Structures are given as C-alpha cells and as structure tokens.
Amino acid sequence: MKKYDAIIIGAGQAGIPLAKMISKKGLKVALVEQDEIGGTCINNGCSPTKTMVASAKVAETVRRAGDFGIHVEGFSVNQKAIRDRKQHIVDLFRGGAESGLKKAENVEIVKGRATFKSPMVLQVSDGESRELQGDRIFINTGSHTVIPDIEGLASQPYLTSTSIMELEETPEHLLILGGGYIGLEFGQMFRRFGSKVTILDRNARLVPKEDEDVCEEISNIFHTSRISTIFNATAYKISGGRGRITIHYKDQSGTPRAVTGSHLLVAAGRAPTSDNMGLEDVGVKLTIKGFVDVNEFFESSVKNVYALGDVAGSPPFTHMAFHDAELVFNSVYGGQRKSNKDRLTPYCIFIDPQLARVGLNEQQANEQGIDYKTGKFWMKHAGRTLETDEKDGFFKVLVDPRTRRILGATVLSKDGGEILAVIQMAMVGGITYDVIRSLPISHPTLAESLNNLMMSIKE
C-alpha cells in the first residue's frame, strides 16, 4: 500500500490546480483519474464546444457577408474538418495539462477507477488493482450526462453532448431533448451549420431561471434563426431508427403529439458522478440528488474527506471549480479557513449573442423581498453593435436604491461575458452605479454602453 499526504480523485479543473498547490508545500500527492486528464472542460465541455461555436460563428458571418458589402459565391460546411479542428484544440489543452502535471514535483498520476475501502484507503482498478492510503482525500469526480428513462430511448442511436461533437456529417434535422444551456448552444450551432433544429423542453420557456424579458429576447433570436421550440413537452416514447427518429410527447393539455428528425441529441441535464465509489459504505453522506454532502468549507461527513466541484453541488462551471480548489487549499493548508458562502457566481452561455449573469436578477430579488431599482439598455442603440451589425440583446442591471451599489446584472449581447467581468469587478470593489454613469470609457467599445445602462436607472 502506497501512502500519500493527499489523494485527489479526478483530474478536472479543481483536481489539477489543487494537486499543484498541495505539491508546492512539499507534500506527496496522488492524482487518480480513470479517463483523460483535464476533466469535462478540456475533453468534452468548455474547450471543444466553444471551438465548434467559433466555427458556427464563421459560418454565420460568411452567410451574412452580403450585409457587409462582401460578395461570396458560395460555401459549404465540412463537418469532419470542424470535428478535426475541435480535436486539435482538445489535444493541445490536454497536452498542456498533462505537461504541467509532469513538471510538478511530488505529484503522481494514478490511472484507474477509485473505490473507498475505508475512509482513508482507496482501491484503484485499471486492469490491475492497487491500494492507496492518504492523510486527506479530495473528491473531484464531476458530473455526467443524464439519460432519461423514456420508452424506446435505449434502443435508439441518440447523441449526447460528447458524441455529437464526433459527427462527420451535418444532421438534416436535429431534435434536441432539453432546452437548457447545452441544448441552446448546440441548437444554435447546428442551425448555423445548416441543420433544421427542433428543441423540445418540459418548461414553459427557455432559460426559466432568467427574467422573462431575457427569455423573450432569446426566444425571438431563435425564432428569427428559424430554430423551432416546443414548450411544455413531456416526452414519453422514442421510436424509429437511424436517420429517422421520432419523439412522442404530450403537450400542456396532455394531447399526444410527435416530431420526427434525422438525429436526436439528449440534453436533459447532468448528475453528480458519485455512484459505485463506496462513499456511503465508509460514512460519506450524499444528498437526495447524489451530491456529496459538504459544508461551506467543502468538508464531508467523514473527517479529512472533502469534495469540490460539480460532485459537491458547486455551481457547474469551470471557473467555480477552480475557485473551489483555491478555497479548499487555503482552508486546509493555508491557515485561512475560507467559506464558499456569499461568493459571486458569474456565468456565460455561449449562444450568440452571449448570455451572461452575475448576482441577482429581478426574479430572485422579488422572491427574496429585496428592494431594487433597475436599468436597461438595448444593444440596437449602441454604436459598436450598429457598426458590427450585431444588435440583438440588452444590458440590464439591478442596484440598491439606498447604497447605490450593484446587486446584479444580466448581459445578453455580443461578447456579453467580457462585459460581465467589468460589472463583476465593480461589484467586488463596491463601485456605485453613479460612478460608472459618468466614467469616461473608450469609444467606440461595447463597454461604453455601461454609461448608458447606468443613465437608464431612474432616480
């Protein structure tokens, strides 16, 4: 049995930086990974999807070239070349992650599946079995695609968010089961590649956690792009086969209906990867939904066993997993016990225009009984978006009428994620909206529309 100061299960976007930080303390670390180094983000999440989103953006730009006075005789989409470009980026990022780990002193990569034999002992199996003992164990196993229990689905050649990126042909008609972030990104992407796209969702609107005006604007954008959306749809059966798949569903009134396409993408959400690890056998408690039950310091119910990232129920974003690693390291090894409570959670959905948010929206403020004032500025009035002819969306902000500080913001616009970072920094720094209102910001930029946004707040 090999002994380590720390064992980390999962070489994702929390596990890798945590391993490096611990090793720099001169401590011996085992980083256990059963799949590829880099986790979901590098291998089948952020990096590959955003690479393909970029290809889709180019396709849309070429398609609209005439709007900019550029005549293009014609073009075609090479799905295999798009896939190969995606894979090149994945290999590049994964290689960088592996190289960084190999350079780190005191870090040993152990390939295989980890199972708890006792609170501080793991059995790792990868053809052969070995046992590892750690003074502390950190669980960073992430999440996986949920495959709903629908009659006939298991026998169909359905796609997931991973396998759809391996296609060598552009689907004639892509059906998407689920209108969440994954469904929206792939829906718009493949529409731009030339597919007919139909999204079915059980909710009454897209992105239901956002304010109604945000949902309405995204729906308008998708409608203009001729992406079909079917709401209040409960799928109960999948039939057909390769090249012709039918989703049978019931509408809001319970009436049976059906829609047929050439390909089916299952995008019904993700679940924590916490099963078959022997966690509960050694006393590690799980929540009803399968997350490792941790406190604000990422401590599980077993002493010296921690969990972070998606599997611990943290916001399911790479940047939050990385931040988890920093908080855990500081709490356990840095002498600074830091909580994950009250931290800002920014996120960005890479549809076009991007949807980004940080802090409260109106829906949440009203639910919590928080007093606020709001401002809104439409992109169709912004100089920069008129120049680039990307006028969809708006900036929206909530402010505290007493302190004049920013409570939250939603940015639905070209490069919305970049603009959101500016607002996030203002929130962290306690900068009031009237300071931003009169701040000289470079022209012509998107950021200068923050002046107009703050001016729209009624005194």
CA distance 122 to 115: 5
Helices 318-332 and 15-23 meet at what angle, rounded to 10?
A: 30
Return the active site residues: 443
Cis amide prior to 401 (ω within 30 degrees): no
| CA-to-CA dists, residue 417 to 123, 196, 289, angstroms | 42, 28, 30
CA distance 431 to 450: 13
3-state SS assignment for residue 348: strand
- CA nearest neighbour of 306 among 335, 328, 330, 339: 328
Rounded to a whole number of angstroms, the distance between the first and last alpha carbons of the chain is 68
Percentage of the chain beyond pLDDT 90 is 96
Residue with token string 């959670």 = 345
Evaluate if residue 272 carries a pLDDT over 90: yes
pLDDT in tens, 41-97: 999 999 999 999 999 999 999 999 999 999 998 899 999 999 999 999 999 999 999
Integer-rounded Cα radius of gyration of the chain? 24
Total-model pTM:
0.94
Which residues on adjacent β-strands are paired with residue 294? none
Reported as a pLDDT band with limits 50, 70 and 90, residue 169 is very high
| CA-to-CA dists, residue 100 to 107, 309, 338, angstroms | 10, 21, 27
Evaluate if residue 1 carries a pLDDT over 90: no
CA distance 170 to 82: 10
pLDDT in tens, 233-268: 999 999 998 899 999 999 999 999 999 999 999 999
Distance of CA 394 to the CA centre of its chain: 21
CA distance 318 to 14: 8
Residue 299's identity, in one-letter code, is: E
Q: What average pLDDT does the segment 373-378 reach?
A: 98
Q: State the Cα torsion 305-345-351-154 to the nearest 10°.
A: 30
| CA-to-CA dists, residue 85 to 47, 82, 98, angstroms | 11, 5, 20
Evaluate if residue 282 carries a pLDDT over 90: yes
Reported as a pLDDT band with limits 50, 70 and 90, residue 372 is very high
Reported as a pLDDT band with limits 50, 70 and 90, residue 342 is confident
Q: Which two tokens stand for residue 30?
A: 């085992």
